[in-house]
Amino acid sequence: RQGLFRVDAAGGTPEPFTQLDRGEVTHRWPQVLPGGAVLFTAHNGGQGFDNATIAVYSPQTGKRQTLVQGGSYGRYLASGHILYMHEGTLFAVPFDLKRLAVSGKAVPAVEGVITDGDTGTAQYSFSEAGTLLYVAGHSIGTVYEMQWLEHDGKTTSLRSALATYNAPQFSPDGTRLALQFSEAAKAPDIYVYEWKRDTMTRLTFAPESDNNPVWTPDGRWIAYNSSRAGGNGNIYWSHSDGTGEAQRLTESEQSQSPGGWHPSGKFLAFIQADAKTALDIWILPMEGDEKSGWKPGKPYVFLNSPFAEMWPSFSPDGRWLAYSSNETGRNEVYVRPFPSGAGKWQISNDGGQHATWSRNGKELFFRGNVAGEIMVADYKVTADSFQADKPRLWAKAELEIQYQRNFALHPDGKRFAILKNPLNQAAEKIDKVVRVENFFDELHRIAPSEGK
């Protein structure tokens, strides 16, 4: 989680160059413009790069300006245009280099340019003479097969169809998986997979990004991050059977994503981004019940610091909250009492993410940071003290080290659903590069500056 850095051309210590704005988690893909200003992509992390921001920062004035809201991988051309990607289409907008501001309307320039939804990159480049090169195709991301993982490390297919799945979580009864699923050139949606019947049912239909699903303890609702109201993405929930309309639970300028429900169903622990304190853990109290109706209360901070606290998860008895923090310089798993938060115990000793409690009240699982293995720590509680044993290897999974969750513990506590890309496949075959001559002339025709 960081802005851009700069370093002297002769070498030396990197120093901060840009500061993250409210809700942002990364600045990337910089381009130094004539005159010294820098063009870059700002991303909030809670949604796809199609909802990122193209911005420019001038070190001379110390000012930052937003050029495009809703795009990534911006590039300046000598024709006086900014190019950027949105939903697989290359857009162009006139740009005034002196004012560092757009000077006309954005228009689609080329459809079907391959972009990577995981990183925000795009497969296009250009020459100073006005020639464009791009790779034709749909947006891609890493594709996975859903597999069962047993304690002995053996895997069997859970769903063989390769797709861009992410963030799986089992329903409380273990019959369904909620997960994030992305179709080509589209923002992710929430789906529910009934694994015994091998059926995938789409739960959300907004054109904007919906991700990171989390089941309520009774299995009736699924909470998730959504950017459907614009901005950085807040928390919504929908009935898990698809009935009714999505309901908004939080409203903030900050990016928010659900982490885990208290077993009572009365509290939702979630992550909130903050420019000053990185990622923080907040609590959303819920009032009412299923019969009378639910009403979200006022969210409050549970844990914030200069470090990133992520992916909170409540214990089966609701007395403890596990989470990850990078306070030591790498992500480790910790446990704090709930609701007080007073005191903490470090669980992992060689890196850890995405703490997951077993229902037996004796084991805390997590993903290792090095080889992506599944680790487990046995624990017991004495009065108000949490006592965990040294973590041990549960199974060699070799999961990809990524921000989002890529494994889910079945409620029986004996197996995991994991997302693996065993063949390192891409979503489609890439075998063609398109060359466009005199591209600058085309840009002047379709995207003229205002007044020209």
Provide mean pLDDT across the span 216-231: 91
Query: Looking at residue 214, what is its pLDDT?
Result: 98
Two structure tokens written together for 342: 């007073």
Amino acid at 389: D
Cα–Cα dist 14/411, whole Å: 47
Residue 386's DSSP bridge partners are 381
For residue 248, pLDDT beyond 80: yes
Cα–Cα dist 359/232, whole Å: 34
Query: Looking at residue 396, what is its pLDDT?
Result: 92
Closest CA to 66 of 109, 22, 34: 22
Q: 434: Cβ–Cβ under 8 A, 6 or more apart, which residues? A: 133, 134, 135, 136
67-70 long-range contacts, Cβ below 8 Å, gap at least 24?
A: 67/39, 67/93, 67/95, 67/101, 67/102, 68/93, 68/102, 68/106
Cα–Cα dist 338/321, whole Å: 6
Two structure tokens written together for 279: 């990622």
Which has more confidence, 354 or 403?
Answer: 354
Query: Looking at residue 33, what is its pLDDT?
Result: 97
Query: What's the start-to-end Cα distance of the chain, in Å?
Result: 41
The reply to whether omega before 339 is within 30° of 0 (cis) is: yes
* pLDDT per position as a tens digit, 14-69: 898 998 887 677 899 999 999 999 999 998 755 568 778 999 999 999 999 999 98
Query: Looking at residue 428, what is its pLDDT?
Result: 52
SS3 content of the chain, % helix, strand, coil (to 5): 0, 50, 50
Sheet holding 53-58, edge to edge: 26-32, 38-43, 53-58, 63-69
The pTM of the full predicted model, rounded to 2 decimals, is 0.77
Query: Looking at residue 427, what is its pLDDT?
Result: 46
Per-residue three-class SS string for 80-111: CEEEEEECCEEEEEEEECCCCEECCCCEEEEE
Q: Assess contact for 116 and 165: CB atoms under 8 A.
A: no
Closest CA to 153 of 347, 404, 399, 370: 399
For residue 291, pLDDT beyond 60: yes
Question: Within its chain, how far is the Cα of 418 from the centroid?
Answer: 18
Concatenate the DSSP letters of all residues of 8-47 into one string. Answer: -TT----EE-----TT--EEEEEEEPTTS-EEEEEE-SSS
Concatenate the DSSP letters of all residues of 393-424 into one string. Answer: EEE-------SS--EEE-TTSS-EEEEE-TT-
**Percentage of residues in the chain with pLDDT exceeding 70?**
94
Provide mean pLDDT across the span 373-401: 94
Q: Pairing state of beta strands 81-86 and 89-96?
A: antiparallel
